[in-house]
Amino acid sequence: MIRFATFLAQGTPTPEAFAAYAAQVGTQDASTAQALLSGQRPKRIAAPQTLLDWVAEATHTPPFLVDACLKVAPDKAEVAALLLPLPTDGTRLTLTATLSDLTDRAAYLQLASALPLPARQILNRLASGTFRTKLTGQPESSQSPGTCLAILTLIDPSGPEATFALPHGNALVPLTRLKLTLPETPAILAWAKAHTTDRFGPLRQVTPAQVFELAYDGTTPNTRRKSGVDLVSPRLIAWHPSLTPDRATPLDAVK
Amino acid sequence: MSHAALIIATPQGLYCPSGDFHIDPMGRVPRALVTHGHSDHAARGMGAYLCTHQALPVIRHRLGRINAEGVAYGERRQIGEVTVSFHPAGHVPGSAQIRIEHRGEVWVNSGDYKTAPDALCEPFEPVRCHTFLTECTFGLPIFHWQPEAEVLAQMAHWWQANAAKSCASVLLAYSFGKAQRLMAGLAGLGAICTHPVVEDVTAILRAQGYPLPPTTVLQGAPPKGALVIATPNAMATDWALGLGPHEVASASGWMALAARRKGTTAAFTLSDHADWLGLNAAIAATGASQVLTMHGYTQPFSQWLRAKGLQSSVIA
């Protein structure tokens, strides 16, 4: 269970990260995790409010304190996880065993009390039917890997991270935000420092002049994005200082 | 027989009428007793300052030319009609609780405090009193701290994993207290670099004799795999552009909350304040029958203390 939480704590689970996790935990937990991450949820044993009621009662927390906590952390499952004292020594239960034990109030309280916080928060999502994490690249997405030439538009020095955009008509539309991992990162940041056109807190808007090659494993439609699309496992391949922005890939070609 | 209040709230801050002095005032007053050097406790503009010898150098560094005097922990001073003394609060180096005694009646102002020990600051000492003024920055039962050793081990692991991919590790922390606690706790594991603001305070504490590892002030790129300790503000400045490939993590008690972790890539819950159980244990250890709450979740915490049978109200 703790390994599953550690795996999820690494961020959006990629197939590579899942393979590494599966190799650690053996076939039974790997197949349980695979099922969870493909959208098969375990039977919900209680709503978040009920989990919170159970924990508040078990820890003798009066209602006015629960209300004060919810003002600070509005998520009921989170408050339920935080109210229980930390375990003095960790559980060794597997993900599969945890799920099969998770049946009622007594079982939940025993399991939750023995887990450290990150794993307890996952347990609460599984118990309350609010676990929604999925492996990237699985739900209706295009599985065709591709590359594109995108334009650097924003830099966040504290990553350092950069936002890349693609031309759409006369506009530049943000496509994805990636950590700057290229060996030329110091030179890219030095260029950005000299070409900052505006600042929004730590974010620096830079002259849209530098072209980068990105690769991805597929695309997923997402109406909440200006571009209308999420890239699956996007990564930064190369900086092409010799290319001009008119060489960038049009957004429609990626969708 | 009931005694008159030894500490009352005034617009300038907490005030002791029988001693005619303020504690950690923010408004200009003639005489200030200061618990520690954080800017919400030590402000400019007071006629005279009194704090521990250990707290004085950082306070002078931050406030410039001030009329200030240091006292030893436990040393008793007569001020007006009261006897005052400073006692370790375990919050940051030099931090103190202030004990005030007047004709057998004892009040203690906790300042900011942490009950669990760390590698750097004078450990918290419970002081018996009739009335205890307690901070309650983390005065809700959702705040439970892991032992420091476990958090430091997680940090060391994060640092080593970053170093293995030739990335620097940038830890964001308050420049006085937390920053030095981190370097003391992670000493000996590799090169530690600092932002200039952190280095200034570190140099002062090192000169005072606090056990701090060697650090290098960073201008430009850090050595491969180094740990860099910086303030959150530093990451929005040009200084951050010179860091090269790096990972960033925050270290604060607030990282216990998902909402505060949002947008951070790594976060460690490490606080210089007492957690819920620490606050309750500290209050019990004073033996106080009246507890006045300040700084933090003052209303619900005071209500909780009343429910436990203590006299309690919010003072500031």
Query: Could you tell me if residue A156 is inside a domain?
Result: yes
Supply the pLDDT for residue B233: 86
Supply the pLDDT for residue A167: 94
Judging contacts by C-beta atoms under 8 Å, the chain B residues touching residue A83 are 141-142
Q: What is the CATH number of domain B8-142+273-314?
A: 3.60.15.10
Please indicate if any CB of chain A lies within 8 Å of the CB of B116.
no
10-residue averages of pLDDT along chain B (316 residues): 86 97 97 97 97 98 96 98 98 98 97 96 98 98 96 96 94 96 96 97 98 94 94 87 89 92 85 98 98 97 98 96
Contact B142 A79 (CB under 8 A): yes
Judging contacts by C-beta atoms under 8 Å, the chain A residues touching residue B143 are 82
Residue labelled with tokens 């906590």: A69
* pLDDT tens digits, A119-164: 999 999 999 998 988 887 658 866 678 899 999 999 998 888 999 9
Residue that finishes a domain, picked among A127, A161, A196 = A127
Contact B142 A158 (CB under 8 A): no
Contact B241 A160 (CB under 8 A): yes
Query: Could you tell me if residue A183 is inside a domain?
Result: yes
Query: Could you tell me if residue A33 is inside a domain?
Result: yes
Chain B: give the shortest CA distance to residue A253, in Å: 30
Question: What is the dihedral sign for C-alpha A43, A46, A51, A57?
Answer: negative
Query: Could you tell me if residue A228 is inside a domain?
Result: yes
Which residues on adjacent β-strands are paired with residue A74? none
Neighbours of B8 (CB within 10 A): 12
Supply the pLDDT for residue A142: 66
Asked if residue A105 and residue A6 are part of one domain, the reply reads: yes
Question: How many structural domains is chain A composed of?
Answer: 2
Residue labelled with tokens 């950690």: B24
Please indicate if any CB of chain A lies within 8 Å of the CB of B76.
no
Asked if residue A150 and residue A79 are part of one domain, the reply reads: no
Query: Could you tell me if residue A132 is inside a domain?
Result: no
Supply the pLDDT for residue B305: 98
Contact B236 A75 (CB under 8 A): no
Query: Could you tell me if residue A139 is inside a domain?
Result: no
Asked if residue A87 and residue A42 are part of one domain, the reply reads: yes
Asked if residue A31 and residue A106 are part of one domain, the reply reads: yes
Supply the pLDDT for residue A212: 96
B146: closest chain A residue by CA: A86
Asked if residue A158 and residue A109 are part of one domain, the reply reads: no
SS3 category, B180: helix
B158: closest chain A residue by CA: A10
CA–CA separation, B85 vs A164, rounded Å? Answer: 60
CA–CA separation, A181 vs A159, rounded Å? Answer: 10
Asked if residue A156 and residue A190 are part of one domain, the reply reads: yes
Chain A: give the shortest CA distance to residue B277, in Å: 9
Asked if residue A120 and residue A155 are part of one domain, the reply reads: no
CA–CA separation, B163 vs B169, rounded Å? Answer: 8
* pLDDT tens digits, A37-84: 988 888 899 999 999 999 999 999 999 999 999 999 989 999 999 999
Contact B142 A83 (CB under 8 A): yes
CA–CA separation, B43 vs B63, rounded Å? Answer: 7
Contact B236 A190 (CB under 8 A): no
Residue that finishes a domain, picked among A127, A158, A193 = A127
ipTM: 0.94
Q: CATH code at A65? A: 1.10.3260.10
Enclosing domain of residue A65: 2-127
Please indicate if any CB of chain B lies within 8 Å of the CB of A160.
yes
Asked if residue A175 and residue A108 are part of one domain, the reply reads: no
CA–CA separation, A103 vs A92, rounded Å? Answer: 18
Query: Could you tell me if residue A136 is inside a domain?
Result: no
Residue-range domain boundaries for chain B: 8-142+273-314, 148-268
SS3 category, A148: strand
Residue that finishes a domain, picked among A63, A97, A127 = A127
- Characterize A186-196 residue by residue with b for buried, 16 or more Cβ atoms within 10 angstroms of its Cβ, and e for exposed: bebbebbeebb
Asked if residue A153 and residue A232 are part of one domain, the reply reads: yes
Query: Could you tell me if residue A90 is inside a domain?
Result: yes
Neighbours of B261 (CB within 10 A): 16
Q: Does domain B148-268 have CATH number 3.30.1390?
A: no
Supply the pLDDT for residue B56: 98
Q: CATH code at A173? A: 2.40.50.140
Neighbours of B170 (CB within 10 A): 26
Asked if residue A217 and residue A171 are part of one domain, the reply reads: yes
Contact B257 A72 (CB under 8 A): yes
Please indicate if any CB of chain B lies within 8 Å of the CB of A69.
yes
Asked if residue A236 and residue A194 are part of one domain, the reply reads: yes
Asked if residue A153 and residue A104 are part of one domain, the reply reads: no
Supply the pLDDT for residue A143: 65
